[in-house]
């Protein structure tokens, strides 16, 4: 479900050449815009937002991963400059750039410890992008900023204690305690997808470990489990046709589950048991107000939530079960940009404690 957004008033924002924000007596000063960036391995999603998190413009450009990703900051800078020029504005109209990047991030100086899919190891993204763009920059992990976005404008509904887990090609996570993102000593807090859930006969994960939650509850994991199940089952199932065509998807599994297919039900229950076990552990540790499920798999909505709640209630401590809410993310692909804007307000313009 998408949240409703108010229409923004373009007259509040400076145009290039407007007296740099000077106003007549009695008039309010024009607000600067915020750039939100969600950096992915295939594309870079960018947005210009108002100070209160409303979208002005959204666009994306391809991610240039050549030469170990060294050209990415320049790509981001050019994309911003071109958009500002198109809107007859300049970088002086921008308060700051908030960016979510994959991998472990040191918030203090925006160092990316490792982002394997981009070719980065110990890459100083904040300093390089600030030098390229001439605009203040704040960097955090992409799952963290999605969690912040949902906390601020989405399913978190303003709650200060929130955990978000994203179920996509992989499984990511972000933890917010008392309104502050938990980073840990090396920026690796919230790596929920790499909690080991199968100590024996686990599948190899992209992180190099075996038996991670990501190998089961990601879209990739669900498809793998479905294919393995269909290869061995003797039960009748509407998934067989997709299996023989080698074209089964997570959506196919949940659609069949909705129709009462026994094999699909077994697959979904298997996946949800492991996911609920991990989320119950997270819930018992943090007792957040909301645990938000995002990513492509979350498009299953209540078909996912119903069995997940059942097993979560079975595994969670009584007080946690009665106080922590499970919900589906509301912002979709916009969560990263909105969360990035929030970080600009918090760390650059200092409007949020």
Residue-wise pLDDT tens digits, 234-248: 999 999 988 888 889
Residue-wise pLDDT tens digits, 306-334: 999 999 999 999 999 999 999 999 999 99
98, 35 contact by CB (below 8 A): yes
What is the CA angle 182-51-46, rounded to 5? 75
Predicted confidence at residue 42, as pLDDT, reads 87
The answer, yes or no, to whether residue 113 has pLDDT greater than 50, is yes
Once rounded to an integer, what is the mean pLDDT over residues 80-89?
Answer: 97
Q: How many CB atoms lie within 10 A of CB 123?
A: 23
Predicted confidence at residue 29, as pLDDT, reads 53
The answer, yes or no, to whether residue 114 has pLDDT greater than 90, is no
The reply to whether 10-142 and 155-330 are identical in fold is yes
Once rounded to an integer, what is the mean pLDDT over residues 133-143?
Answer: 96
Q: Where along the chain do its domains lie?
A: 10-142, 155-330
State the pLDDT confidence band at 115, using cuts at 50, 70 and 90. confident
The answer, yes or no, to whether residue 1 has pLDDT greater than 80, is no
Min mean pLDDT across 3-7, 48-52, 91-95, 141-145 is at: 3-7
Residue-wise pLDDT tens digits, 99-111: 999 888 999 999 9
Angle between helices 250-258 and 262-286 (to 10 degrees): 110
For residue 62, the 8-state DSSP code is E
Residue-wise pLDDT tens digits, 20-42: 333 344 434 568 999 999 998 88
Predicted confidence at residue 247, as pLDDT, reads 85
Total count of residues recorded for the chain: 353
d(CA 1, CA 254): 18
**What architecture does CATH give domain 155-330?**
2-Layer Sandwich (3.30)
Predicted confidence at residue 9, as pLDDT, reads 52
Predicted confidence at residue 290, as pLDDT, reads 97
Predicted confidence at residue 245, as pLDDT, reads 81
Strands, E, within the chain: which ranges?
33-39, 43-49, 55-62, 94-101, 104-106, 111-115, 120-124, 137-141, 162-167, 171-177, 180-181, 290-294, 325-328
Predicted confidence at residue 259, as pLDDT, reads 97
Once rounded to an integer, what is the mean pLDDT over residues 161-178?
Answer: 94
Predicted confidence at residue 15, as pLDDT, reads 39
d(CA 245, CA 198): 30
95, 33 contact by CB (below 8 A): yes
For residue 346, the 8-state DSSP code is I
CATH 3.40.605.10 given to domain 10-142: no
């Amino acid at each position: 479900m998408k949240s409703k957004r108010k229409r923004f008033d373009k007259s509040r924002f400076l145009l290039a050449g407007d007296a740099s924000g000077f106003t007549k007596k009695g008039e309010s000063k024009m607000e600067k815009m915020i750039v939100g960036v969600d950096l992915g391995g295939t594309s870079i999603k960018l947005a210009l937002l108002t100070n209160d998190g409303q979208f002005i413009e959204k666009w994306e450009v391809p991610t240039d991963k050549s030469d170990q990703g060294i050209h990415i900051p320049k790509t981001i800078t050019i994309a911003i400059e071109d958009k500002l020029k198109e809107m007859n504005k300049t970088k002086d109209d921008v308060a700051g750039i908030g960016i979510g990047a994959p991998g472990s991030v040191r918030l203090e100086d925006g160092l990316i410890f490792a982002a394997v899919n981009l070719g980065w190891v110990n890459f100083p993204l904040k300093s390089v992008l600030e030098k390229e763009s001439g605009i203040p920059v704040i960097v955090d992990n992409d799952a963290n900023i999605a969690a912040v976005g949902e906390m601020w404008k989405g399913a978190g509904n303003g709650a200060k204690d929130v955990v978000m887990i994203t179920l996509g090609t992989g499984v990511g996570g972000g933890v917010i305690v008392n309104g502050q993102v938990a980073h840990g000593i090396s920026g690796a807090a919230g790596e929920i997808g790499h909690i080991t859930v199968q100590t024996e006969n686990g599948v190899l994960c992209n992180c190099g470990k075996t038996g991670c939650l990501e190998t089961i509850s990601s879209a990739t994991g669900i498809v793998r489990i479905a294919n393995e199940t269909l290869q061995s089952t003797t039960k009748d199932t509407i998934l067989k046709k997709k299996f023989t065509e080698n074209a089964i998807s997570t959506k196919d599994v949940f659609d069949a589950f909705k129709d009462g297919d026994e094999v699909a039900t077994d697959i979904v229950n298997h996946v949800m048991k492991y996911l609920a076990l991990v989320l119950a552990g997270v819930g018992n540790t943090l007792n957040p107000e909301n645990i938000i499920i995002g990513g492509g798999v979350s498009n299953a909505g209540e078909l996912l939530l119903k069995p997940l709640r059942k097993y979560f209630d079975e595994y969670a401590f009584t007080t946690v079960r009665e106080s922590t809410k499970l919900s589906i993310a509301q912002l979709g692909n916009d969560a990263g940009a909105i969360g990035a804007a929030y970080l600009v307000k918090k760390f650059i313009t200092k409007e949020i404690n």
